[in-house]
Amino acid sequence: MVNSSLVVTLYVNPMTGNDTNTGSRLSPFKSLTHALKLTQIPTIIHLESGTYSAASGEVFPMIIPGGVTVVGNEANKGVGIVISGSGEYQSPSFGMQNITLLLRDNASLLGVTVTNPSAKGTGIWIESAAPTLANNTLRDCGREGIFTTGTAKPTIVDNIFVQNAASGLVMAGYSQGEVLRNVFQRNPLGIAISDFAAPTIANNKLSENRAAIALSRNAQPVIRQNLIVKNTQGGLFINGNALPDLGNTQDPAANIFRDNNEFDLYNATTQKLVSVGNELNPALVKGLVELIPANQVAVSTSSSETPTESPSQKLPASPELDGHWAKPFIQALLNMDLTRAFADGSYQPDKPITRAQYADMVAIAFNPLPKVPAPNFTDVPKDFWADSAIQIAASGGFVGGFSDRTFRPDQNVQRLQVIVSLVNGLGLSAVDSDVLEVYSDRQTIPNYARKAVATATQRGIVVNYPDPKLLAPLRLATRAEVAAMFYQALVAIGRTSAIKSVYVGLHSRT
């Protein structure tokens, strides 16, 4: 059943509220500072329009504890709900800092505007915590919009970073986490990554900054599918011993660099950088860089990772699965003859899965009956190894194409896409989205997919490794995760019996 822990809900209105009120919708507090003093775990604090500043009774820096969600207006990225101010914070990593907000543990900040007008001021500081920030605007800060350090592992999605004095986002220390679908515009640096930070930077738009992304020291970010355009100096600058992941033949990076002034990619280090599957102008590439274009990636991927077409080469067992968390699911599918190896006889459980490979797995595991006419994808020739599987999966309602009539067979699949695909393809009836309360990162689930994720959760299809409470919907799915969710989908439709696993069925234990 759904987690029944009582959620405290408080309301704040800086215009009409009073801190002597009860904090209800009809009797709101005046200051967020006062509401934060009364928080229990978990608490949701709703902010009404207005400016939250020292003039309205706020005390800075504000500290948002773990388990507390502060919500403004996500639909308009927090326009009209402004938290503005600064105060001193003693950082264990960087000493005294001037910040507006400190986010601890698994706190969430959704749909507000944050600004720190003080010189060298930071809007949001994250130190060795894993908060969620979604649909906010970080603007006009005296230094940067967000600074992460220590072992921070934030989820930063769908925010706007604009006109901050130094950087939109700085990630230092050993920061990891995900930076997805944000807009960075008119900052001197869009994103600065330093020290040993290794976040995933994907599907962001960086434009009209001086430099879009700057790496230094030993930074090792994964950079995927970003649009990096019209930056006045350049796109990606790499210094020190930094070594970004800019794609490989199994996982092309698919970043688009366009109309940048001095450089698209500048490797100022002494080590060679390999760029795979990125769209850029070779004339604007500086330093030691090997460019492998997307059209070469497709050839390499098809030849090295095409699953075998012969049933006699199904994988009976594999040493690479010994001790692997997903071995029971994979082995069960292998025993049922419902999955198969790559051409070299390996299963490669921890590798991401492409759309073509996913369609192949769908065709084998479910062999769906046609629901709709199979489309004619312009980028899937009839002699393509997975053409038949793609047709089966598409006509069965498990996969679809893009508006330009392409299928993009070599594009990798996200975990969320797997979940939505299984719910749609199997035609499962929707359930109430309250079940999503079991996930600590539920705010990262896009609105369009919440019903599908709730349905898959309720039916026991969702498999989360290593943390059962962390859905990570936008992370790329591995073959192991897909196999486990396929097996659970077969359980959900009554085709096989359940396998006991700590990574499955969280909704039934909370």
45 assigned to some structural domain: no
Query: CA-CA distance, 113 to 135, in Å (whole number)?
Result: 9
C-alpha torsion 143→145→151→154, nearest 10: 180
User: Is the pLDDT reported for residue 435 higher than 80?
Assistant: yes
Cβ atoms within 10 Å, residue 84: 21
What is the rounded average pLDDT of the residues 445-472? 90
Residues 361 and 251 in one domain: no
Give residue 299's pLDDT: 35
**Kind of pairing between the strands at 95-103 and 87-91:** antiparallel
Ramachandran region, residue 457 (left: φ > 0; alpha: ψ -120 to 50; beta: rest):
alpha
**Which range is least confidently modeled, 20-34, 171-185, 434-448?**
434-448
DSSP single-letter state for residue 189: E
Cβ atoms of 410 and 252 closer than 8 Å: yes
Can you name the residues that pair with 51 across neighbouring β-strands?
A: 82
Residue 384 in tokens: 């393509």
Can you name the residues that pair with 84 across neighbouring β-strands?
A: 115
293 pLDDT band, cuts 50/70/90, is confident
Last residue of one domain, picked from the residues 248, 275, 297: 297
User: Is the pLDDT reported for residue 5 higher than 70?
Assistant: no
pTM tops 0.95, yes or no: no
Burial class (CB in 10 A: 0-12, 13-18, 19+), 324: middle
Number of domains in the chain: 2
Segment 336-349, tens digit of pLDDT: 888 876 655 677 88
Can you name the residues that pair with 66 across neighbouring β-strands?
A: none
Give residue 375's pLDDT: 82
Q: What percent of the chain has pLDDT over 90?
A: 69
Query: CA-CA distance, 99 to 60, in Å (whole number)?
Result: 8
424 assigned to some structural domain: yes
What is the rounded average pLDDT of the residues 262-275? 95
Residues 261 and 287 in one domain: yes
Cβ atoms of 96 and 88 closer than 8 Å: yes
Last residue of one domain, picked from the residues 253, 278, 297: 297
- 3-state class (DSSP) for residue 418: helix
CA atoms within 13 A on the CB side of 254: 13
Residues 282 and 363 in one domain: no
104 assigned to some structural domain: yes
Residues 262 and 396 in one domain: no
Residues 308 and 262 in one domain: no
260 pLDDT band, cuts 50/70/90, is very high
Residues 326 and 239 in one domain: no
295 pLDDT band, cuts 50/70/90, is low
Query: CA-CA distance, 263 to 278, in Å (whole number)?
Result: 14
What is the rounded average pLDDT of the residues 75-79? 94
Per-residue CA distances from 93 to 90, 97, 177 (Å)? 9, 10, 18
Query: CA-CA distance, 9 to 29, in Å (whole number)?
Result: 12
71 assigned to some structural domain: no
CATH number for the domain harbouring residue 285? 2.160.20.10
Give residue 500's pLDDT: 85
Query: CA-CA distance, 510 to 498, in Å (whole number)?
Result: 19
Residues 137 and 266 in one domain: yes
Closest CA to 505 of 477, 446, 464, 476: 464
User: Is the pLDDT reported for residue 508 higher than 90?
Assistant: no
Query: CA-CA distance, 11 to 298, in Å (whole number)?
Result: 53
Residues 153 and 178 in one domain: yes
113 assigned to some structural domain: yes
Can you name the residues that pair with 10 across neighbouring β-strands?
A: 45
Cβ atoms within 10 Å, residue 357: 26
- 3-state class (DSSP) for residue 420: helix
Query: CA-CA distance, 117 to 99, in Å (whole number)?
Result: 10
Cβ atoms of 93 and 61 closer than 8 Å: no
Cβ atoms within 10 Å, residue 62: 23
**Which range is least confidently modeled, 42-46, 59-63, 313-317, 318-322?**
313-317
- For 292-314, the three-class secondary structure string (H helix, E strand, C coil) is ECHHHHHHHHHHHHCECCCHHHC
User: Is the pLDDT reported for residue 509 higher than 70?
Assistant: no
Buried b (16+ CB within 10 A) or exposed e, 340-355: bbbbeeebbbebbbbb
Segment 373-391, tens digit of pLDDT: 878 899 999 889 999 999 9
- 3-state class (DSSP) for residue 319: helix
What is the rounded average pLDDT of the residues 418-433? 89
Residues 291 and 395 in one domain: no
Residue 126, Cα to own-chain centre: how many angstroms?
Answer: 18
Last residue of one domain, picked from the residues 252, 274, 297: 297
Query: CA-CA distance, 254 to 158, in Å (whole number)?
Result: 19
- Return mean pLDDT, the chain: 89
38 assigned to some structural domain: no
Residues 212 and 244 in one domain: yes
Give residue 506's pLDDT: 57
170 assigned to some structural domain: yes
Give residue 349's pLDDT: 87
Residues 269 and 374 in one domain: no
| Greater pLDDT, 106 or 123 | 123
40 assigned to some structural domain: no
Cβ atoms of 263 and 247 closer than 8 Å: no
- Domain around 221: 84-297
Query: CA-CA distance, 318 to 315, in Å (whole number)?
Result: 7
Per-residue CA distances from 347 to 202, 285, 310, 350, 440 (Å)? 27, 37, 15, 9, 31
Give residue 338's pLDDT: 87
State the alpha helices, DSSP H only, in 336-447. 355-365, 387-395, 415-426
User: Is the pLDDT reported for residue 217 higher than 90?
Assistant: yes
Cβ atoms of 437 and 445 closer than 8 Å: no
Closest CA to 184 of 217, 212, 210: 212
489 pLDDT band, cuts 50/70/90, is very high
Positions of E strands within 79-210: 81-84, 87-91, 95-103, 108-110, 113-115, 122-127, 132-134, 137-139, 144-149, 155-157, 160-162, 167-171, 178-180, 183-185, 189-193, 200-202, 205-207
Residues 360 and 280 in one domain: no
Query: CA-CA distance, 86 to 49, in Å (whole number)?
Result: 20
159 pLDDT band, cuts 50/70/90, is very high
Start-to-end CA distance of the chain, whole Å, equals: 6
